[in-house]
């Protein structure tokens, strides 16, 4: 047996005779038609996350071809393999419910199969975090390529973007301003092609923070899915995957505590999705790093929102790409970043920034002196209603509502919300606080993006556009409003949110970082004694059982406890 330099020899203990195992392995891989010469070089695994259900990943086959070209030009052998794919709209009950399944699939298949490095292809909201979580746990040299954002659509002369404008048009439809027939026509224009949602939703957020973390080659986050530049970036990623295999540059060398601080700062500066905080927490947890919310708020206070993208601003990802992508953002906040962090480029973040094209005049990335929003996009809240935390995307909220007290109007579940929110009999006024519960990680289950509680029809019809809305759910990064999310502990496990009753006073003070239930502790104690956990049907088997047994709260990234890095835990080989 030749002394192969490749990952063909990884994990050969299964027959107790390593040479026999390699012999067998070679016999079966040769059945794919590879020559000895092809196998006698570094193997780069490529995750194939294509699915006929996932338009956000529609260009994955093209990306794989470009990545393979890059791998082969650099002297490696590319081998693609399938990984679970998921699209936001086709992941019942929620994509968050399935994110950890995809992370487990990625982790185990990267570990199981012979490869020296791996190219991760993600794009749609949960796929990038799932792949990074899995790759972090294996800690094999890894590099990510995203599918890239969609181009904008157009409807009767108006530019459209998924899915901020989906919500806007649906709200107009609810208010009677857009007909049923028009909604049919608009549904053909909102997501006009391959790629991820082109506003600052979770997909764009995770692409940009992955580049800031150092896991993506510079300049890759904002290139549109259909651009030739996207394929060139993929080719370069393939070539670099061969190099990181030789350098043994591992995710744990790149995703350090300092790199996560950089990523959190970029999350604030781009006005990123609140989901980004959950996902970064989960990825960090795979490396034994815990993200501190006080630090996150301090970073936010120092870092204004600079990127003028919907839903906080006006532009789309294609405009950010034309403005230079992430580079102008990094340049503007460079003094606040740890530029010594290594990236998959093999250089430091500071060197990557210096290598980026010189800036040119543009109006998408603002300066520190002239931001979109003073103070970061996201604020973590505390208070007696959220002892373990809650978040608000303050940059997408109504400024006048950021300090507000009102009467609670409580919905006990998603079903209750659906049944009553539009009832003409609903006792609700514009100053009330809409409360949704049992929509957290365990409650729904799967922490749906239901935090964007619709304005009750009878108020919407009178022109009410925003109200304070609070829940233990998540919200799409493409949504907007004065909305408190991720309240923890969630109601389904007996968090204080479970004890709120109609008519209670709730006060929100974002500047002070507090969400409070203004009810006497003795009254709450009485309610707590009577509280019973809600039943989740079908929880005695399968992945749902695993999920319900293991899922952690938002402040721990909603990961499974046994997947986080524990001292003495499993490592590669
Ligand atoms: Fe895939 Fe929006 S649905 S990124
Ligand atoms: Mg989304």
* Whole-angstrom distance, CA of residue 435 vs CA of residue 441: 16
Identify whether 367 is part of a domain.
no
Q: Please, what is the angle between helix 180-187 and helix 164-174, to 10°? A: 170
Lowest mean pLDDT among 6-20, 365-379, 381-395: 6-20
CATH number at residue 426: 3.50.30.80
What is the position in ligand 1's atom list of the atom closest to the CA of 88?
3
The reply to whether 297 and 401 lie within a common domain is no
CA of 175 to the centre of ligand 1 (A): 26
The reply to whether 478 and 337 lie within a common domain is no
The reply to whether 165 and 147 lie within a common domain is no
Q: Look at residue 559 and tell me whether its pLDDT is greater than 90.
A: yes
The reply to whether 299 and 224 lie within a common domain is yes
CA of 227 to the centre of ligand 1 (A): 18
The reply to whether 342 and 412 lie within a common domain is no
Q: Look at residue 212 and tell me whether its pLDDT is greater than 60.
A: yes
The reply to whether 306 and 439 lie within a common domain is no
What is the position in ligand 1's atom list of the atom closest to the CA of 163?
2
Lowest mean pLDDT among 11-25, 59-73, 334-348, 352-366: 11-25
Identify whether 137 is part of a domain.
yes
Q: Look at residue 573 and tell me whether its pLDDT is greater than 50.
A: no
How do residues 511-541 score in pLDDT, each as one tens digit?
A: 999 999 999 999 999 999 999 998 877 678 9
Give the residue numbers spanning the domain of 292. Answer: 41-151+193-355
**pTM (two decimals):** 0.96
Which pLDDT score is estimated for 539? 76
> Closest Cα to residue 142, out of 112, 109, 110, 119?
119
The reply to whether 401 and 488 lie within a common domain is yes
* Sign of CA pseudo-dihedral 102, 55, 272, 415: negative
Per DSSP bridges, beta strands 158-160 and 514-517 are unpaired
Which pLDDT score is estimated for 196? 98
The reply to whether 123 and 232 lie within a common domain is yes
Q: Average pLDDT over the chain, rounded to whole? A: 94
3-state SS class at 142: strand
| Residue that finishes a domain, picked among 187, 203, 231 | 187
Identify whether 122 is part of a domain.
yes
**Centroid of chain to Cα 444:** 19
The reply to whether 167 and 230 lie within a common domain is no
Identify whether 47 is part of a domain.
yes
What is the position in ligand 1's atom list of the atom closest to the CA of 196?
4
Which carries the bigger pLDDT value, residue 10 or residue 573?
Answer: 10
Ligand 1 pocket, CB under 6 A: 56, 87-88, 124-125, 196-197, 201, 203
The reply to whether 253 and 340 lie within a common domain is yes
How many domains are contained in the chain?
Answer: 3
Which pLDDT score is estimated for 376? 87
Identify whether 333 is part of a domain.
yes
Identify whether 421 is part of a domain.
yes
Q: Quick one: 72 exposed, middle or buried, by C-beta within 10 A (0-12, 13-18, 19+)?
A: middle
Identify whether 497 is part of a domain.
yes
Identify whether 136 is part of a domain.
yes
The reply to whether 283 and 165 lie within a common domain is no
Which pLDDT score is estimated for 464? 95
Decide if 49 contacts 121 (C-beta within 8 A): yes
Average pLDDT over residues 161-178: 86
The reply to whether 346 and 461 lie within a common domain is no
Average pLDDT over residues 300-313: 92
Does residue 93 have a cis peptide bond before it, meaning omega lies within 30 degrees of 0? yes
User: Sorting pLDDT into bands at 50, 70 and 90, what band is 487?
Assistant: very high
| Straight-line distance from the first to the last Cα atom of the chain, in angstroms, rounded to the nearest whole number | 21
């Amino acid at each position: 047996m030749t002394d192969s330099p490749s990952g063909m020899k990884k994990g050969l203990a299964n027959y107790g005779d390593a040479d026999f195992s390699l012999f067998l392995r070679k016999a079966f891989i040769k059945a794919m038609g590879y020559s000895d010469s092809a196998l006698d070089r570094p193997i780069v695994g490529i995750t194939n996350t294509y699915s006929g259900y996932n338009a956000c990943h529609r260009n994955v086959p093209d990306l794989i071809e470009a990545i393979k070209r890059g791998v082969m030009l650099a002297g490696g052998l590319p081998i693609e393999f399938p990984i679970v794919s998921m699209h936001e709209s086709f992941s019942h009950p929620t994509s968050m419910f399935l994110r950890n399944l995809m992370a487990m699939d990625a982790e185990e298949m990267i570990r199981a199969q012979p490869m020296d490095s791996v190219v991760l292809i993600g794009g749609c909201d949960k796929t990038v975090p799932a792949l990074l979580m899995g790759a972090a746990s294996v800690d094999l040299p890894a590099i990510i390529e995203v599918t890239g954002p969609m181009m904008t659509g157009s409807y009767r002369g108006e530019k459209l973007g998924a899915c901020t404008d989906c919500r806007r048009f649906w709200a107009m439809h609810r208010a009677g301003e857009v007909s049923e027939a028009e909604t049919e026509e608009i549904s053909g224009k909102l997501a006009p092609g391959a790629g991820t949602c082109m506003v600052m939703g979770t997909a764009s957020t995770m692409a940009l923070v992955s580049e800031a973390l150092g896991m993506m080659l510079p300049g890759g986050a904002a290139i549109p899915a259909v651009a030739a530049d996207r394929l060139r970036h993929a080719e370069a990623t393939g070539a670099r995957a061969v190099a990181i295999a030789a350098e043994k540059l591992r995710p744990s060398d790149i995703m350090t505590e300092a790199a996560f601080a950089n990523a959190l700062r970029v999350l604030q500066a781009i006005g990123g999705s609140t989901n980004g905080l959950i996902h970064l927490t989960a990825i960090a947890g795979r490396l034994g790093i815990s993200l501190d919310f006080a630090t996150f708020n301090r970073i936010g206070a120092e870092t204004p929102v600079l990127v003028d993208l919907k839903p906080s601003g006006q532009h789309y990802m294609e405009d950010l790409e034309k403005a230079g992508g992430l580079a102008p953002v990094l340049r503007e906040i460079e003094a606040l970043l740890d530029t010594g962090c290594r990236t998959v480029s093999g250089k430091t973040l500071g060197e990557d920034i210096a290598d980026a094209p010189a800036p040119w005049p543009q109006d998408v990335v603002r300066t520190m002196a002239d931001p979109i929003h003073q103070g970061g996009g996201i604020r973590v809240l505390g208070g007696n209603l959220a002892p373990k935390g809650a978040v608000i995307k303050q940059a997408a909220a109504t400024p006048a509502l950021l300090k507000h007290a009102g009467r609670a109007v409580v919905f006990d579940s998603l079903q209750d919300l659906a049944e009553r929110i539009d009832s003409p009999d609903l006792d609700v006024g514009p100053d009330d606080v809409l409360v949704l519960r049992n929509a957290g990680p365990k409650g729904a289950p799967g922490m749906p993006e239901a935090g964007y509680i619709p304005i009750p029809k009878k108020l919407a019809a009178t022109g009410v556009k925003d109200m304070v809305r609070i829940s233990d759910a998540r919200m799409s990064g493409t949504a907007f409003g004065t909305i408190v999310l991720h309240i923890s502990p969630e109601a389904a496990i007996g968090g204080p949110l479970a004890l709120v009753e109609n008519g209670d006073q709730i006060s929100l003070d974002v500047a002070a970082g507090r969400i409070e239930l203004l009810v006497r502790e003795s009254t709450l104690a009485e309610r707590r004694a009577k509280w019973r956990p809600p039943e989740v049907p079908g929880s005695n088997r399968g992945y749902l059982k695993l999920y319900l047994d293991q899922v952690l709260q938002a402040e721990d990234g909603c990961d499974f406890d046994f997947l986080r890095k524990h001292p003495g835990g499993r490592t590669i080989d």
